[in-house]
Structure 1
Amino acid sequence: MKSAKTTLSLKKAILGVTAIVGLAFSAQAQAEELRLLTWGGYAPDAVVEQFKAETGIDVKVTKSNNEEMIAKLRATGGGGFDLAQPSQDRISGAQIENRIYKPMDLSKIDSSQFISSMLEATKANTTVDGEVYGVPHVWGTSGLVLDTKKAGDVKDYADLCNEAHAGKVSYRLKRPTLIGFAFSMGMDPFEAYGDTAKYQEIMDKVEAKLISCKANVKTYWEGGDALLNLVRSGEVVAAMAWDTGGWKLNGDNPDVTFVAPASGALGWIDTFALPRKTENEEAAYKWINFVMRPEIAAQITAEAGNFTASKGADAFAEDKLKAQFQASFPEQDLNNIKWYPTVPAGLETIEGKVLDRVKAASSN
């Protein structure tokens, strides 16, 4: 009996030690997980597996968009995730209002892997109280999609109003069109963001231009597929549209492609940002440095369809896409991209009224 009790006690002791060890391993496993809040295509399965094989860190991917990211982080005070990927113009306002992010430690980021102009632009646009809250990842632009044989004279947004292309151009009645036309008319709307009266003055001039241009417009496109079909059919020879749409058309017709406007393409950037309550900050920095390697970044481009801010990643892209990118963005055009800053309160109301008046005006 005594022997049986001793054996039982020993078994209990072993089970106790096993449970403690198990809890330790469980905690370790939990610590070695990166909870990523991102967009579809930004963390392909193959990249996640390569990262895990190299670092031992698993990546739990939650796909989202700007509105949902901010809502999730606001609801938890910046908890639940270790790394998020909001667009650069959605960081400073959310941080000022809700304090959902924490500053980036730039010493832990390999800045040599980034296209410097994009890194500096994102740092500037995500700085709050002297602290940087975001670095760039995936980006894209809007500019000109042209049939270069039929509309080779179109070099900037305002050239869409050239009489030679009456009835054969298209653009959206959205704020990027207002911004693009302003730049092409020699004004800087972003510089006027802090001056409502100055911004209104710029928008009044753009409004007059767009109203005078109505006769040139075949249609104000809304869905991307509809625009692509108009260009394919030859009904539209010049448009303001996204780079990826132009490259897609180029695959069908080498005369059609995306062209960066002389005044600069308009660029958006999805970033890396640290939620305020991140629990695995070191893993977040490891992931950033890993996916910004050119050969890894090229895999993300293949999955997402957009390029990243990784310096030299285009060299690893599929040959056709690489050629399209390099033709559309020689270095001077890449450095001339106008990156969207955070929109101050009140400006979108001004823009909305301008767009309504343009839409209501009769074409001459």
Structure 2
Amino acid sequence: MTDFTSRAGLSRRAILKGGATLAVGLAAPAIVSRRALASSGELNILMWSDYLPETFVSAFETSTGIKINFTGIGSNEEIINKMKATKGRGFDIVSPTNNRSLQWQPLELLQPIDMTRVPLENVNPAMAKIGEVDWAFGEGVYWAPHIWGTEGIAWRTDLFTPKGVLPSYGDVWADENAGKTMGRGHSMMLGAGLYMETIGELAPGDVWKAYKTPEAMAEVWGKITDWCIAKKGNVKLLWNDADTQKNGLLNEGVIVGQTWDGPPLALKTAGEPVMYAAPLEGAMAWVDGIAIPTGAENIDAVYEFLKHAYMPELAGEAIDHHGYNSPVLGADKFAGAAYARNFADAYPGDALANLNPWPAEPQWYADARTEFVNRFTSA
């Protein structure tokens, strides 16, 4: 996976700002494309459940006359399984995460994107390069960046206080928080591994070594799984989507959990006593993208969507609602003060320089991890 962040001197401005200059025309209202009108007038999207706020959908539909049919998902496995089941048909856009390229390439369920129809000059060059490097499957590029974010620690400010400036992945497993924590199976186990490195239960670097070979994966994840099973009783809730995370913090008695950044920050913006921050061990960073299945029927509408997704004003308004971040240059200028405040709270000090870009996952790694996660969840 392309490392889209620098390990030094990183800031929100550095992440969202690149060398390209925004086209002046983007400040004007979008124009209905003749190509878009040549499609069925609909766009079928399979995307993460909280990525399309009504403000964006309304602006897109009003501008283009194209109706969005949205199906929300909560995991990369859902996207892959749906596309395998339908042989790439049924949707015009899917949204795989950047580190899943090695799993998608052999499936041959995506078609290359015509980059001459995509305003990539409006996108952070480092994030655009992820597609050019990791998703270049021989005949073109099969992925473009859409939204980026992190997975770290969220907590109820009225019920939990981190021991230091930043929380830790270990807080999810701590005895003092027993019965009041949550996480997602595979990623909370990875977070546990990073915490185990800090307390001597794993050697430094073991978690990343597990991506190298099946043998290293079996050794490292065997230890992680045994450790997590021993502490499973401390975990109250396993989440699988954004709504489950929000509900856990608001209604299920969860005081601290390992979550995506968007859901708790959306709650924080709404005035709930919720905070999110990168943990001591470093937040896990990812970029979710836009890809076109082989059976997509409304191709022209796809490029209208990409054009609108890369407009700073629309991208900025969207991040105000869903709480994640945009790769679009200048999007932050169109987000409100709450977004800027949330970003600063989530990544204090050198937290941005300490991000852990999620490594590319070979299929053998994903398969083995599923077995370990099943051992944990069924224990």
Same-fold call, TM cutoff 0.5: yes
Partner residue, 1:158: 170
Q: Measure the CA separation in 2 of the matches of 1:239 and 1:82.
A: 34
What per-residue deviation string (whole Å, max 9, x for no partner) do you get for residues 223-275 of structure 1? 435531479x6xx6543223234325535466x41011233323454321133
Q: Measure the CA separation in 2 of the matches of 1:169 and 1:117.
A: 38
Partner residue, 1:16: none
Partner residue, 2:363: 344
Q: Is the 8 A contact 1:176 1:266 kept in 2?
A: no
Secondary structure, counterpart of 1:150 in structure 2:
coil
The structure richer in helix per residue is 1
Once the two structures are superposed, the pairs formed by residues 122-201 of structure 1 within 5 Å of their partners are 123-129=132-138, 131-146=140-155, 150-153=161-164, 155-158=167-170, 160=172, 165=176, 167=178, 170-172=181-183, 174-184=185-195, 185=197, 186-187=204-205, 189=207, 192-201=210-219
Q: Measure the CA separation in 1 of the matches of 2:85 and 2:267.
A: 42
Q: Measure the CA separation in 2 of the matches of 1:225 and 1:75.
A: 30
Q: Is the 8 A contact 1:81 1:278 kept in 2?
A: yes
Q: Measure the CA separation in 2 of the matches of 1:88 and 1:209.
A: 29
Q: Is the 8 A contact 1:228 1:245 kept in 2?
A: no
Q: Go from structure 1 to structure 2 and tell me whether the alpha carbon gap of 1:237 and 1:38 turns closer, same or farther (over 3 Å shift).
A: closer
* Distance apart, 1:138 and its partner CA: 2.8
Partner residue, 2:120: 111
TM-score normalised by length of structure 1: 0.69
What per-residue deviation string (whole Å, max 9, x for no partner) do you get for residues 297-340 of structure 1? 12333554543332332332243243113321369645624336
Q: Is the 8 A contact 1:221 1:227 kept in 2?
A: no
Identify which of structures 1 and 2 has the higher relative contact order when contacts are C-alpha pairs closer than 8 Å and 6+ apart. Answer: 2
* Distance apart, 1:195 and its partner CA: 0.9
Q: Go from structure 1 to structure 2 and tell me whether the alpha carbon gap of 1:179 and 1:93 turns closer, same or farther (over 3 Å shift).
A: same
Partner residue, 2:338: 320
Query: Does 2:103 align with 1:93?
Result: yes
What per-residue deviation string (whole Å, max 9, x for no partner) do you get for residues 105-148 of structure 1? 44543334334454344554434347431112134432112457
Which consecutive unaligned segments of at least 5 residues does structure 1 have? 1-25
What per-residue deviation string (whole Å, max 9, x for no partner) do you get for residues 83-107 of structure 1? 443444555534422x222223445
Q: Measure the CA separation in 1 of the matches of 2:54 and 2:377.
A: 46
Once the two structures are superposed, the pairs formed by residues 1-364 of structure 1 within 5 Å of their partners are 29-31=37-39, 33=41, 35-39=43-47, 42=51, 47=56, 50-51=59-60, 57-64=64-71, 65=73, 78=88, 82-88=92-98, 92-97=102-107, 99-121=108-130, 123-129=132-138, 131-146=140-155, 150-153=161-164, 155-158=167-170, 160=172, 165=176, 167=178, 170-172=181-183, 174-184=185-195, 185=197, 186-187=204-205, 189=207, 192-210=210-228, 213=231, 217=234, 219-222=236-239, 223-225=244-246, 227-229=248-250, 237-248=255-266, 250=268, 251-252=270-271, 256-276=274-294, 281=299, 284-302=302-320, 304-329=322-347, 333-334=351-352, 336-339=355-358, 341-345=360-364, 347-353=366-372, 356=375, 360=379
Q: Is the 8 A contact 1:34 1:83 kept in 2?
A: no
Q: Go from structure 1 to structure 2 and tell me whether the alpha carbon gap of 1:168 and 1:38 turns closer, same or farther (over 3 Å shift).
A: closer
Q: Is the 8 A contact 1:48 1:59 kept in 2?
A: no
Q: Measure the CA separation in 2 of the matches of 1:225 and 1:32.
A: 36
Partner residue, 1:22: none
Q: Measure the CA separation in 1 of the matches of 2:86 and 2:189.
A: 36
TM-score normalised by length of structure 2: 0.66
Q: Is the 8 A contact 2:93 2:291 kept in 1?
A: yes
Secondary structure, counterpart of 1:175 in structure 2:
helix
Q: Is the 8 A contact 1:264 1:338 kept in 2?
A: no
Question: Aligned partner of 1:319: which letter?
Answer: A
The structure whose Rg is larger is: 1
Q: Go from structure 1 to structure 2 and tell me whether the alpha carbon gap of 1:134 and 1:188 turns closer, same or farther (over 3 Å shift).
A: farther
The CA RMSD over aligned residues, in Å, is: 4.2
What per-residue deviation string (whole Å, max 9, x for no partner) do you get for residues 19-78 of structure 1? xxxxxxx99942585634243665566546655776xx4424222246776577557765
Question: Aligned partner of 1:37: which letter?
Answer: I
Q: Measure the CA separation in 2 of the matches of 1:131 and 1:276.
A: 14
Partner residue, 2:11: none
Q: Is the 8 A contact 2:145 2:287 kept in 1?
A: yes
Secondary structure, counterpart of 2:363 in structure 1:
coil
Q: How many residues get paired? A: 326
Q: Is the 8 A contact 1:125 1:342 kept in 2?
A: no
Question: Aligned partner of 2:211: which letter?
Answer: Y
Identity of aligned residues (%): 23
* Distance apart, 1:296 and its partner CA: 0.6
Which consecutive unaligned segments of at least 5 residues does structure 2 have? 1-33, 198-203
